[in-house]
């Protein structure tokens, strides 16, 4: 016989299989776009103002600068990410390696922006200085245009590079690098608050273009530079808007979907949002809240198996409070008749199995009528209707539950049920560390006495006049007459349901 091979692991995303290459592409594309914008500006506004000799010096300067600076900067970025890339591919071997991977991955957007700044900003004076030294003189307007073209290209490369790398690491790298740890509290990470991110977008897409247009107007007044800046600003703004939307709307949409799932009662969700800013802190707080809700639900479910779900809910709501309140309820006592000789003929295992088989449908009947079983008494139990869940028809519910118990009782097993309605003190007793929901009062004692009298009356179900007075006209009752109950001074009128 051959066994089926284990299911194959799902394929890892391409970015996780090639983390360094994916990161390099995230800064290569914005820098390439910045270069395109820079070349177009130079052709429109700088080249016409240069002599042939100055143009030759300018072209040689561009070639030398690009061959020296950008390979070095990209090499620095690769060297920064390469150790983290190895860790992401094979997993961390030591805590120190995991910590180093987190630091490198989390700070890579800032490194990308810093390297782009080191590559672009010097262009504002390197090229005009080289031309002015080799082939003077250089008109003043050319210096202004060099500064302006550099600033526009730098803004494109630095800001889009930052947001592109930030989107990559938050979507693909933070999860494997941090696992379930809180990214927002990780040490060694540089953080840019949301307010500063939006300010960066504003400076890049609004303030810088406006300042550029003003500078062009003051420098030359030409129409072509203005059209260039306007076109680049629109395209640059669209690209940056797409990046920021992907950065912010993705986590918000995931949070919204998780909230909808929780609203429907599902606590088995975990946000796949890993960020070092306020959105990451919000997602981590949401996950922490869900862990608390799951634990509370687990406690309620486990606790409810012992004391009843409604009681468990009430005790959890009260938290550490002790005490009670006066409630009008209906109490039901159930007892298995002739239990002592029955138990003598059975082993302990058989006896427990019998009790579980008998009590199962009885407890279900109580729950069906929104009642709760408070205490097991060996061969019986005490149930209450009207607490902790309030209900105006608790007496009718108790009588209906008693009828179902009688119908569902095992053949050969006889039961006695006593029902009484009256005021009790309902609440938690004990200590803050160990407490129990219970009901206290004369009404509880009277219900117990009524149940004991079912043997003498030879009726399986008896109820007091107070309970009978709460029942509708559709419930048929047989008067049993005033009864002398043990421990009760006055005679007590009792009734039995006609079908019982």
For 362-383, what is each residue's pLDDT tens digit?
Answer: 999 998 998 988 888 888 999 9
Smallest Cα–Cα separation from 204: which of 230, 227, 237?
237
Q: What are the φ/ψ torsions at residue 68 (nearest 5 degrees)?
A: -90, -45
pTM: 0.54
Predicted local confidence at residue 7, as pLDDT: 47
265 dihedral zone (left: phi>0; alpha: psi -120 to 50; beta): left
Burial per residue of 8-26, b for 16 or more beta-carbon CB atoms within 10 angstroms, e otherwise = eeeeeeebbebbbebbbeb
Residue 358, pLDDT > 80, answer: yes
Ramachandran angles phi, psi of 3, nearest 5°:
-100, 145
pLDDT at residue 305 greater than cutoff 90: no
Q: Which of 166-175, 282-291, 306-315 has the highest mean pLDDT?
A: 166-175
Highest mean pLDDT among 177-181, 212-216, 420-424: 420-424
DSSP element (H, E) containing 231:
helix 223-263
The mean per-residue pLDDT over the stretch 84-92 comes to: 83
Element (H, E) at 334: strand 323-336
pLDDT at position 464 over 90: yes
> Looking at residue 243, what is its pLDDT?
66
Residue 201 has, within 13 A of its CA and on its CB side, a CA count of 18
Per-residue pLDDT reduced to its tens digit, 259-302: 777 777 777 777 666 666 666 677 777 777 777 777 766 655 65
Question: How many C-alpha atoms does 6 have within 13 Å on its Cβ side?
Answer: 2
Q: For residue 193, what pLDDT is reported?
A: 76
Q: Which of 45-54, 85-94, 197-206, 412-421 has the lowest mean pLDDT?
A: 197-206
pLDDT in tens, 7-42: 444 556 777 777 888 888 888 888 887 888 788 778
pLDDT of residue 346: 87
Highest mean pLDDT among 102-106, 113-117, 281-285, 460-464: 460-464
Mean pLDDT of 451-459: 92
Cβ-contact 197, 244 below 8 angstroms: yes
């Amino acid at each position: 016989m051959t066994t089926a091979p284990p299911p194959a692991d799902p394929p890892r995303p391409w970015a996780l299989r090639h983390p360094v290459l994916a990161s390099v592409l995230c800064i290569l594309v914005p820098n390439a776009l910045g270069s395109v914008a820079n070349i177009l500006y130079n052709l429109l506004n700088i080249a016409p103002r240069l002599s042939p000799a100055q143009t030759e010096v300018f072209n040689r300067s561009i070639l030398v600068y690009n061959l020296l600076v950008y390979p070095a900067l990209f090499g620095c970025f690769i060297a920064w990410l390469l150790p983290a890339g190895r860790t992401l591919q094979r997993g961390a071997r030591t805590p120190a390696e995991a910590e180093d991977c987190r630091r490198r991955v989390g700070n890579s957007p800032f490194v990308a922006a810093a390297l782009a700044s080191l590559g672009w900003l010097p262009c504002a004076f390197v090229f005009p200085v080289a031309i002015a030294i080799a082939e003077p003189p250089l008109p003043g307007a050319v210096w202004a245009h060099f500064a302006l073209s550099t600033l526009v290209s730098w803004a494109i490369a630095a800001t889009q590079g930052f947001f592109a790398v930030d989107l990559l690491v938050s979507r693909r790298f933070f999860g494997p690098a941090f696992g379930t740890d809180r990214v927002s509290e990780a040490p060694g990470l540089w953080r840019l608050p949301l307010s500063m991110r939006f300010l960066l977008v504003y400076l890049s897409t609004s303030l810088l273009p406006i300042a550029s247009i003003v500078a062009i107007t003051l420098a030359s007044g030409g129409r072509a530079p203005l059209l260039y800046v306007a076109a680049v600003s629109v395209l640059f703004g669209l690209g940056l808007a797409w990046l920021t939307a992907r950065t912010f709307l993705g986590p918000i949409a995931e949070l919204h979907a998780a909230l909808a799932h929780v609203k429907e009662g599902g606590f088995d969700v975990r946000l796949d949002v890993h960020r070092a800013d306020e959105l990451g802190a919000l997602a981590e707080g949401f996950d922490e809240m869900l862990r608390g809700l799951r634990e509370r639900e687990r406690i309620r479910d486990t606790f409810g198996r012992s004391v009843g779900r409604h009681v468990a809910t009430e005790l959890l709501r009260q938290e550490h409070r002790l005490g009670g309140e006066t409630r009008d309820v209906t109490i039901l006592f159930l007892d298995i008749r002739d239990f002592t000789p029955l138990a003598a003929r059975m082993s302990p295992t058989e006896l427990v199995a019998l009790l579980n088989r008998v009590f199962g449908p009885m407890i279900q009947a109580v729950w069906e009528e929104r009642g709760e079983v408070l205490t097991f008494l060996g061969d019986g139990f005490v149930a209450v209707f009207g607490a902790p869940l309030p209900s105006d028809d608790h007496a009718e519910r108790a009588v209906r539950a008693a009828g179902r118990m009688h119908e569902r009782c095992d053949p050969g097993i006889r039961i006695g049920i006593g029902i009484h309605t009256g005021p009790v003190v309902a609440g938690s007793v004990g200590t803050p560390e160990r407490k129990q929901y219970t009901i206290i009062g004369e009404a509880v004692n009277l219900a117990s006495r009524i149940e004991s009298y079912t043997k003498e009356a030879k009726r399986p179900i008896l109820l007091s006049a107070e309970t009978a007075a709460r029942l509708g006209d559709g419930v048929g009752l047989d008067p049993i007459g005033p009864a002398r109950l043990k421990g009760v001074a006055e005679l007590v009128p009792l009734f039995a349901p006609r079908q019982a």
